[in-house]
Every structure is written in structure tokens, then in C-alpha cells.
Amino acid sequence: MSGRFIPTSIRRQLRQEAGFGCAQCGNPLIEYHHIIPWSESKVHRPEHMVALCGTCHTSIGKLQRSVAYRLKAAPKNIKDGKIHGLLGTDKAQPSFVLGTNTFIRTPDVFRYFGRTIFKYDVREGQHLISAYLPRDDFWPELRIVENDMTMDTAKFWDVEFRTNYFRVQRKTRETFLEIDLRGEHAKVAADFSIRGQRFIFDDEQSSIGSSSIQNSTMIDCGAGISFGDRGERLMLPNYAQHHSRVGLLREGRSIQWI
């Protein structure tokens, strides 16, 4: 292989083995370090490369090569089993696009049985995105709280984290979540399931099972899209429970554990 451009497959391999973040500090904004300097080898060999953030790339590049090899063998995100990152942009887009639908001054974009799955707000000129995408047991598989993202490293095939852009793909290579903050709107695409119900939001469709909501604009709404009965509210599991369970709280009735 020749040329300074690192092939896509090698960059993905390095992201995967590092748990989609810097091998030393875990930062998902990464570069690709040639442990054997490019000036010596003029080739991209993944066994002699490691994913590092810009700061660690500079510092590790000044140390003995053995340091980089040790980090490559035991990257932080793999040891922790988690990836953390902060979404950010210098823009404050006034509108939020989920799939084919636009939401303006409608912070609760999508709710599932009263629980917010996607939320978007602009506060003091800064956009704030929140998301809760659960596993089958309703503990979060991916969670964003006002731009602060946390997710499991082992569940996904690839994670791209760049300035103003974030994309997560499952091992089937399907997009699980994509957040694009580069244009005039905060734009989100997603394909996920909750309790066997599939939700797809992309450029072509916004579907909930066999139903769809297409090309709508929602302005100054309490909630944009809501799924589930209004009189039921999902109770998420928590560490205070002796046995973690998920329940549906019905108005005037007892909790139904699910």
C-alpha cells in the first residue's frame, strides 16, 4: 500500500480494536498513529498502528515504540467496556430533523410510553441532544444526556465520531444511530427496536412498524411523536431495585411488570 491515505478498512479495524476511541484516554475523536513511522516504512500495516486522539498522538509519538504497542494491546475502552464522548458544534440549529420529520421548538421529539427517547433543545446558543436507546432489558445500550454520550463498546460493528458528526453501526453494518450537525438542521437517523417493535427514521421514511409519519413539521408542541397509551408510563429499571425490573404504570391501577 502506498500513499498517505489510510484505507477505510484499516481505519475501521483500528477503531474496532481500540473500542472506538483513543487507546490511552478513550477520547472518540481519533487519529491513526504509525508506531513504525511513515517516514521509515511508507506502508499502512495495522499491526504497527494504533488509534489515538490528537493530544495523545503527539505525546506517544515522542516515546519509545514499546509504549504504543502496550496501549494497542490493552486500549482503555476495551478494558472499561464503554465509550464516552461529548457531541459538539459551533452551531445552534433551531430545528431538529428525525427521519423525514422536522421539529421546531418541540424539545421532546419522540416518546415511548411517556419516556423520552429523543430530545433536542437550544439553550444559551448551544444545541443539546439527549437520547435513550435501550437493550431488551431496558438498560441503556446507548445514552446521550445533553450531548454527553455513553455506550457499550462490544455491541457495535463500527463507530465514527468526528467534529459535528456521529454514526453508530451494528455488526450487520446497519446504521443504528446517526447524528449530523454539519448542516442547517440538527439531523438524526436511527433504526432500533424496543420490545420487538421496530422504529426506522431515515431520509426515506419515518416508520413505526406498519405505520408511518412522513414529511411533517411540528412547531411548539409539547411532544412530537408519542408511542403508547397516554395513560401508561414506562418505569425504567434502576440500581435501587432489589431485582431490576421494567414496569408500566397505569393511571388509577397497579404497576404491570414486563
- What is the SS3 string spanning 22-45? CCCCCCCCEEEEECCCHHHHCCCC
Q: What CA–CA distance (Å, rounded) separates 132 from 68? A: 35
State how far the Cα of 258 lies from the Cα of 254, in Å rounded to an integer. Answer: 13
The three cell numbers locating residue 194: 424496543
Q: What is the pLDDT of residue 203?
A: 93
pLDDT at 244: 59
For 39, the grid coordinates are: 517516514
Q: What is the pTM of this model?
A: 0.87
Q: What is the pLDDT along the chain (258 residues), one digit of tens a residue?
A: 457 899 999 999 999 999 999 999 999 999 999 999 988 988 999 999 999 999 999 999 999 999 999 999 999 999 999 999 998 776 778 899 999 999 999 999 999 988 899 999 988 888 899 999 998 888 889 999 999 999 998 889 999 998 889 999 988 888 999 999 988 889 999 999 988 899 999 999 999 888 899 999 999 998 899 988 777 777 777 655 545 566 666 665 556 656
Cα 127 to Cα 107: distance, rounded to the nearest angstrom: 11
C-alpha cell at 6: 489510510
Task: Provide the pLDDT for residue 253.
Answer: 59
Q: What residue ranges do the domains of the chain occupy?
A: 8-80, 86-228
At 1 the pLDDT is: 43
State residue 258's pLDDT score. 60
Cα 85 to Cα 14, 82, 111, 170, 192, distances in angstroms:
18, 10, 24, 18, 21
Phi and psi (nearest 5°) for 12?
Answer: -65, -45
CA dist., res. 101 & res. 225, Å (int): 10
Q: What is the pLDDT of residue 125?
A: 81
